[in-house]
Amino acid sequence: MQIYLPIAEVSVNLFLLLGLGGLVGILSGMFGVGGGFLITPLLFFIGVPPAVAVATGANQIVASSVSGVLAHLRRKTVDLKMGTVLLIGGLMGSGVGIWIFNLLSKLGQVDLLVTLCYVVFLGIVGTLMLIESLRALQRSKRKGVVPKRRHRGWVDALPLKMKFRTSGLYISIIPPILVGASVGVLAAIMGVGGGFIMVPAMIYLLNMPTKVVVGTSLFQIIFVTGFTTLMHAVTNYTVDMALAAILILGGVVGAQIGTQIGLKLRAEQLRILLAVIVIAVCVKLALDLLLEPNELYSITRGRL
Amino acid sequence: MRALIALLFTLVLPFAAQAEEEVVAGLSQARVAITADFAGSEILVFGAVKRNSPIPEGSPLQVIVTVSGPHEPVVVRRKSRRFGIWVNTSSVEVDSAASFYAIATTAPMGEVLSHTEDLRHKVTIPQMIRSVGAPKDVPDAEAFTEALIRVRENTGRYVMNESGVILSEDTLFRSAIALPANLTEGLYATRIFLTRDGKVIDTYETTLDVTMVGFERWAFNLAHEQPLIYGILSLIIAITAGWAASAVFRYIRG
């Protein structure tokens, strides 16, 4: 069954969209990533114009993140205090990111830079996560001993310390704000929530317990993507309500299923799985850049 | 209106005024409504040739039907390899290209229309596309126009059907034009040409109104006229849906 999307002005298969939304929802619930790094390229692939795909993707992520965060809130696996600190940084960062994005659009080649950003960051994050979690899995299999916390000398020396009870941390708020801000910049440029960078940053840079990382990441993604959605709706008129509604319908159901699967798997297994998905998307995007495309020409409506 | 068009043609086309044959035509519908479940449509263009004298001897009568979507500027970009990766390196702006263009004829184009007449009436796909002032840094600007046609032909936006018009008794003709699902809103100019020996002897023009209706119309207008409200509404939908799903799943699990 085909459905005509009013803003995208294309007709697409309804069940394909529901399936896409569902798949991304499952990932969202399992890993606490918004899934933007998957939904946006997939929407390009089925013929939705890139600008609409980016803006509508952000709107869909809001819904699946709300659904996911509520499930986590009931389990008390959201560090609201840490989430708020990250969010403050995140909003500042996304403001800067949108400014950079517009600057790059004027210079041309913004598509290339976005893709390069994807390849580089997905590649780094995916590889680091895979190596770390494989090592953790081996360690726990061999001895069953809790791995030693890394020494964080300079982080401990920073001022403005705050107690984060849920995470069991007593650290300066400067690192979380910096993490939030840099993820915000990248999120705005790449048109994603930034969970795939935020989650590892929280685990490896802030040393937060894996248990609360997912919920906290989802919490701040809601606000960052909500902000992005509004910006796109107001400046570019590219949010497609019908497309978003269908993706959301698939996504919210998927997110609930994903949360259940996530609870059954072990933290290391979850991380390995996410790492593999991240690397796969990275390889696909890298191949698009490296291999000669079938059609060298592309068409955009409008003027230069 | 019809009289005005006839008058215009008399002024613009002195040759046509001399012709003994005139075309009268109609569309199966004057309006195509894009609804949420719009999956393409088909319009029937039909008509007849009006004569005051017997059918002229000699070369056969031919009919061309064109349906053209709204014209808009497009940018065609070409990738090439730089530092090992494929990037957009050159671009050409095409001033005006139809978002959709379909041609149906009674015989192969070469037999139906001469090149001069094509230039005058802009009937074929390459003639329909208007590109003035190719940029100096791109020596092969034609390749970009060709690529535009190729890409749009492959996606079904430009269609050429050289036996798409059925002409019976040299008088009645009809042609079914398929409109794809990916249709853009706007006024679609529908033209009919009668030709003999490659020369246009009469033309007829009408418009087909393609508009979104219902939810599509409402969403499109709101998004463009009240973008902030539209954006907030989109967020409310998202948040409500997320909350509802969470509540429903909790209820299911008890």
Q: For the segment A163-186, what is each residue's pLDDT rounded down to a tens digit?
A: 777 777 777 788 888 888 888 887
Nearby residues of A214 by Cβ (< 8 Å), 6 or more positions away:
A31, A32, A68, A72, A77, A199, A262
Mean pLDDT of chain A: 79
**CA-CA distance, A262 to A274, in Å (whole number)?**
11
Q: Burial of B13 by CB count in 10 Å (0-12 exposed, 13-18 middle, 19+ buried)? A: middle
Residues 88-147 of B with CB under 8 A from A: 88, 91, 93, 99, 144, 147
Q: Is the pLDDT of residue A149 over 60?
A: no
Give the range among B104-113, B154-163, B241-250 with minimum mean pLDDT: B241-250
**Looking at residue A156, what is its pLDDT?**
65
Residue A109 pLDDT > 70, yes or no? no
Residue with tokens 């005005």: B4
Residues 6+ apart with CB under 8 A from A41: A281, A284, A285
Task: Count the Cβ atoms, other than its own, within 10 Å of residue A32.
Answer: 33
Give the C-alpha separation, A25 to A31, whole Å: 10
Per-residue pLDDT, A157: 67
Number of H helices, E strands in chain A: 11, 5
Whether the per-residue pLDDT at B24 is higher than 70: the answer is: yes
| pLDDT > 90? residue B67 | yes
Interchain pair A9, B88: CB under 8 A: no
pLDDT of residue B81: 86
CB contact under 8 A, B223 and A7: yes
pLDDT at residue B29 is higher than 80 = yes
Please choose, from the candidates A221, A223, A68, A63, the residue with its C-alpha nearest in 3D space to the C-alpha of residue B242: A63
Q: Measure CB to CB from residue B184 to each of A9, A108, A109 and give the nearest one.
A: A9
Q: What is the pLDDT of residues A30-87, one digit of tens each?
A: 776 667 777 877 887 787 877 788 788 888 888 878 877 887 888 888 888 888 888 8
- Among A24, A59, A10, A105, smallest CA distance to A221 is for A59
How much is the pLDDT for A150?
A: 53
- Cβ pair B151:A233 closer than 8 A: no
pLDDT value of residue A32: 62
Provide the sign of the torsion angle of the four alpha carbons A256, A261, A267, A268, taken in this order. Answer: negative
A296 contacts B235? CB cut-off 8 A? no
- The residue with tokens 């600008």 is A51
Fold of B2-212: Immunoglobulin-like (2.60.40)
Q: How many CB atoms lie within 10 A of CB A174?
A: 15
| CB within 8 Å of A192: residues ≥ 6 apart | A34, A36, A37, A40, A57, A58, A61, A186
Closest CB to B84: pick one of A226, A234, A290: A290
Whether B241 and A248 lie within 8 Å, measured CB to CB: yes
* Residue A145 pLDDT class (50, 70, 90 cuts): very low
Taking an 8 Å cut-off on Cβ atoms, the answer to whether A67 and B243 are in contact is: yes
Give B147's contacts in chain A (Cβ within 8 Å). 295-297
pLDDT digits (tens, 9 = 90+) for B212-228: 888 888 888 888 888 89
Most confident of A86-100, A224-238, B106-120: B106-120
Residues of chain A numbered 69-128 and touching chain B (CB < 8 Å) = 70-71, 74, 108-109, 111-112
Residue B3 pLDDT exceeds 80: no
Interface confidence (ipTM) of the complex: 0.77
- Which phi and psi (to 5°) does residue A244 adopt? -60, -45
pLDDT recorded at residue B133 = 66
B186: nearest Cα among B67, B65, B77, B103: B67
Instruction: Give the mean pLDDT of A202-219.
Output: 83
pLDDT band at residue B7 under the 50/70/90 scheme: low
In angstroms, the CA B160 to CA A68 distance is 51
Q: Are B144 and B20 in contact (CB under 8 A)?
A: no
**pLDDT of A63:** 83
pLDDT of res. A143: 55
B-chain CB neighbours of A67 within 8 Å are 241-243, 245-246
Which chain A residues are closer than 8 Å to B237 by Cβ? 63, 241, 244-245, 248
Select the residue of A63, A245, A303 nearest B73 (Cβ to Cβ).
Answer: A303
pLDDT at B242 over 50: yes
Give pLDDT, residue B14. Answer: 47
Within 8 A of B217 by CB-CB distance, chain A residues are 6
* Residue B230 φ then ψ, to 5°: -60, -45
Percent with pLDDT over 90 in chain B = 19
Q: Is A110 exposed, middle or buried (0-12, 13-18, 19+ CB in 10 A)?
A: middle
In Å, how far is A135's CA from the nearest CA of chain B? 34
Q: What confidence category does residue A139 fall into, taking pLDDT thresholds of 50, 70 and 90?
A: confident
pLDDT tops 80 at residue B165: yes
A66, closest residue in chain B (CA to CA): B242
Residue A263 has pLDDT above 70, yes or no: yes
Residue B192 is predicted with a pLDDT of 92
pLDDT band at B16 (very low <50, low <70, confident <90, very high): very low
Contact residues on chain A for B219, CB-CB shorter than 8 A: 6-7, 240-242
Write the single-letter amino acid at B39.
Answer: A
Q: Which of A284-293, B17-26, B68-77 has the lowest mean pLDDT?
A: B17-26
Residue of B78, B223, B241 with shortest CB distance to A296 = B78
User: Could you tell me the residue ranges of all domains in chain B?
Assistant: 2-212, 213-254
Confidence of residue B101 (pLDDT cuts 50, 70, 90): very high
Q: What is the pLDDT of residue A154?
A: 61
Average pLDDT (A184-209) is 78
Q: Encoding tokens for residue B58?
A: 């000699």
3-state secondary structure A30-53: HHCCCCHHHHHHHHHHCCCCHHHH
- Dig out the tokens for A110 from the structure: 């913004």
First to last CA, chain B: 69
Q: State the nearest Cα–Cα gap between B36 and chain A, in angstroms.
A: 5
Q: With CA atoms as reference, report the closest residue to B93 among B45, B137, B125, B56.
A: B137
Percent of chain A whose pLDDT exceeds 90: 1
Instruction: pLDDT band for A212, please (50, 70, 90 cuts).
Output: confident
Mean pLDDT score, A268-290: 83
pLDDT for B44 equals: 92
A295 → closest Cβ in B151, B230, B241: B151
Chosen for mutation from A1, A2, A4 (greatest number of chain B CBs closer than 10 Å) is A4
Does residue B138 register a pLDDT over 80? no
Asked if B74's CB is within 8 angstroms of A300's CB, the reply is yes
pTM of the model: 0.75
Question: Does residue B65 have a pLDDT over 80?
Answer: yes
d(CA A132, CA A268): 9
